[in-house]
Amino acid sequence: MRKGYLIAFLLVVVAVAIGSIAMSPVRREMEEKERVEAVQNAVPTPAPEYVDRDGLHYKRMHLTRADYEAETGKPFPFTVDAVELIGKSDALVLVEYGGTVYAVNGTARGWAKKKGWADIVESQLWKQDPAMPTATFNLQPVIDKGRTLDPQ
C-alpha cells in the first residue's frame, strides 16, 4: 500500500517538474515583460539637495504620497499629500510641512526641544491607521529613507 502511494507521489512530482520545465520560457518571458513595465512605470525619486539649518548642513528631498507608495508599497504615514524629508549624518530624520519641522526618529526627538522642532508623536501630521484606530502608520520606511539622504 505504501509503495503505491509513493509511486503515485513520484509520478505527480515528475509531472509537475516536466510541466514547469515546459512552461519555463513562457513564464520567463512574462516575468521579463513585467519587470520592463515596472521599470518603465516607476516614478523616479528626486535627488536630495542640501539645506543649512540651525548651523548644520542637512540633506532634504520632497517626498510625495504617490512616490512613497510606489516605492514602498505601503500607505503614506502622513495626513498630507507631501512633506519635505530632511536627514543629517544617518542620525537625524525630520519632516517639514507648513513651515514646521517635526522630529521623526528617536535621535531627532531627543533634540526636538533644544532645536525648537515639533515632536511627530504629538502632532496631527502622523496618520492614524483606519484598521486600528488606536495605532498610527509605521514610520520606519520614512526613517530608513531619511537616514540614507546624508550617509556620513
- 44: its cell numbers: 523616479
Give CA 115 to chain center in angstroms: 27
Claim to verify: residue 135 and residue 119 sit in the same structural domain: yes
pLDDT of residue 109 exceeding 60, the answer is yes
For 113, half-sphere exposure in the C-beta direction (CA atoms, 13 angstrom radius) is: 1
Cβ atoms of 87 and 147 within 8 Å: the answer is yes
- Number of folded domains in the chain? 2
> pTM, whole model, 2 decimals?
0.65
Domain of 11?
Answer: 1-42
Ramachandran bin of 137, using left for φ above 0, alpha for ψ from -120 to 50, beta for the remaining angles = beta
Between 29 and 106, the higher pLDDT residue: 106
Is there a single domain that holds both residue 27 and residue 60? no
**Based on the domain organization, do 68 and 29 belong to the same domain?**
no
Q: Could you give the C-alpha distances from 112 to 45, 93, 102, 119, 123, in angstroms and in order?
A: 28, 11, 8, 7, 13
101 plus 143 within the same structural domain:
yes
Of 7-21, 59-73, 101-115, which range is least confident?
Answer: 7-21
13 vs 125, residue with greater confidence? 125
